[in-house]
């Protein structure tokens, strides 16, 4: 599926931005312009079931990566690919064919649940259905009013089936588990790769981070930032990308 895109900047230095579940390309409203100021043409996609992109009856995990590849095939070489959460999984699964010069995984959803965590992606549906500006601001107190308003608009056009399909496939994602050890963590980076984590990430725990370092990934944390790192602490996020963009 060809995905809807949003762009900032111009030229041949392509930065690909892939959002997480429930979100869309508008989540990068500050990151895109910042990359453009650094000389990039920043291209943010709306994943299937999100934003202005197409809808489907079901949403297999591997389709997100296939869509990213189809959408970027005419862009030319991608210098840096940045994926947040579900977008981090899509970039990981696409990386071998996409071959960006560098990949940045922001609190990636490489494991969709962990035994004992009580994590269920279907909870996202309940959250979105009941969301108000007040409830979003309560969950994300560091967001500014514009991000809160965008989140409300994003939920209105988000296909809840994307979360329900993730909940059906909860656990380690086989395609991502290149090590074959059930961790859901890749064996090694296909390209030079940064894993940028929320403080006390629920998706990549401390032991996972150490494992990733041992496997050749650079791992950094933005202190105090929640899961949507680039919205919780934009300045901290950009600082943490030093040497990668």
> Encoding tokens for residue 78?
């991608």
- Going by C-beta distance under 8 Å and a sequence separation of 6 or more, which residues neighbour residue 115? none
The reported pTM is 0.94
Residue 220 half-sphere exposure toward CB, CA atoms < 13 A: 18
Q: Give the span between the Cα atoms of 42 and 113, in whole angstroms.
A: 31
Nearest to 231 by CA among 193, 198, 195: 198
Strand, coil or helix: 86:
helix
CATH architecture of 5-240: 3-Layer(aba) Sandwich (3.40)
Q: What's the alpha-carbon Rg for the chain, to the nearest Å?
A: 16
Per-residue pLDDT of the chain (245 residues; tens, 9 = 90+): 999 999 999 999 999 999 999 999 999 999 999 999 999 999 999 999 999 999 999 999 999 999 999 999 999 999 999 999 999 999 999 999 999 999 999 999 997 644 445 567 778 999 999 999 999 999 999 999 999 999 999 999 999 999 999 866 554 455 555 555 667 799 999 999 999 999 999 999 999 999 999 999 999 999 999 999 999 999 999 999 999 99
Q: Give the span between the Cα atoms of 206 and 165, in whole angstroms.
A: 28
What was the pLDDT predicted at 22? 96
């Amino acid at each position: 599926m060809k995905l809807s895109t949003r762009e900032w900047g111009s030229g041949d230095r392509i930065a690909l931005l892939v959002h997480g579940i429930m979100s869309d390309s508008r989540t990068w409203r500050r990151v895109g312009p910042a990359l453009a100021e650094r000389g990039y043409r920043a291209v943010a996609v709306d994943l299937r079931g999100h934003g202005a992109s197409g809808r489907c009856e079901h949403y297999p995990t591997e389709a997100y990566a296939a869509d990213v590849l189809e959408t970027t095939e005419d862009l030319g070489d991608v210098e840096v690919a940045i994926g947040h959460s579900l977008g981090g999984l899509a970039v990981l699964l696409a990386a071998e064919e996409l071959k960006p010069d560098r990949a940045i995984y922001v609190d990636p959803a490489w494991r969709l649940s962990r035994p004992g965590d009580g994590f269920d992606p279907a909870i996202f549906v309940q959250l979105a259905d009941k969301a108000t500006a007040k409830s979003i601001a309560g969950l994300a107190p560091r967001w500014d009013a514009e991000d809160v308003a965008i989140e409300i608009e994003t939920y209105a056009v988000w296909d809840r089936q994307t979360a329900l399909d993730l909940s059906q496939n909860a656990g380690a994602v086989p395609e991502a588990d290149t090590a074959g050890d059930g961790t859901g963590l890749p064996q090694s980076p296909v390209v030079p790769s940064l894993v940028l984590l929320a403080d006390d990430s629920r998706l990549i725990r401390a032991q996972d981070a150490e494992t990733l370092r041992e496997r050749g990934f650079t791992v950094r944390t933005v202190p105090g930032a929640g899961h949507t790192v680039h919205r919780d602490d934009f300045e901290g996020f950009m600082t943490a990308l030093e040497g990668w963009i």
